[in-house]
Amino acid sequence: MIKLENLYKSFDDLEVLKGINLEVKAGEVVCIIGPSGSGKSTMLRCMNQLETVTSGKIYIENVLVSHIEEGKDLLKFTEKEASKLRTNLGMVFQRFNLFPHLTVLENLTIAPKLVKNENEEETKKNALVLLGRVGLSDKKDEYPSKLSGGQQQRVAIARALAMNPKIMLFDEPTSALDPELVGEVLEVMKKLADEGMTMVVVTHEMGFAREVGTRVIFMDEGQIVEEGSPEDIFDHPQMDRTKSFLNKILK
């Protein structure tokens, strides 16, 4: 579903990603863990082409969607073509990024209408189904400011699903939430995993990574240090850097 080949990303003189190679297969829940500043979120944003890589290749469903070498874009997609390629990827951010001037229902229907030209009645019907899935049917006419952080993030998940993506990317979706609200968001994500959604999740929630992840990747200093099953990483880490990180956060 996703393949990254020799991915590098720099911001001016700061090299954030240093030769990332990664494959995500259909139905996998890949959880990415590691210290702050290790390049986890940047890698996710490169997958979705919210950041342009410095060099490397990105494949989505076996289609080469980005190929840059020595700063040269070898594919040269138009913005319209690039936007179409991104529709298979749903993205949920740390900060909910909901449109404050739109109701919950309007937040879910705006992109399918504008980007995919879906008719209003069908879009609204689908949005109501999605709000039911995240337990917020009764909030359809509310504005985001009237919702708790957990509710806003569940709306953000439903909004991403409204585009009918084949892959969901989550960038630390619970890090901005009060502790008591984390569980309701993780529960929605667990349901998605149970339904077979392909997911890449940058997270500090080690319990979620252990329980729901099919594969866990530990990143540090812009590189993948170690990857394996949750049992491999949490119970039998091989690399000293992985052991050190887990010893600090699992105490």
Closest CA to 41 of 16, 12, 15: 16
Q: In the predicted model, is pLDDT for residue 126 greater than 80? A: yes
Planar angle of CA 107, 154, 187, nearest 5 degrees? 160
User: Would you state the pLDDT for residue 82?
Assistant: 73
Q: In the predicted model, is pLDDT for residue 116 greater than 90? A: no
Mean pLDDT for the chain overall: 93
Mean local confidence (pLDDT), 95-108:
94
Whole-prediction pTM value?
Answer: 0.92
Mean local confidence (pLDDT), 94-112:
93
- Quick: pLDDT tens for 127-158: 999 999 999 999 999 999 999 999 999 999 99
Planar angle of CA 135, 164, 29, nearest 5 degrees? 75
Q: How many helices (H) and strands (E) would you count in the chain?
A: 9, 11
What tokens were used for 88? 């298979």
CB-count exposure of residue 101 (10 Å: 0-12, 13-18, 19+): exposed
Closest CA to 188 of 37, 177, 105: 177
- Quick: pLDDT tens for 46-85: 999 889 999 999 999 888 888 999 878 888 777 777 777 7
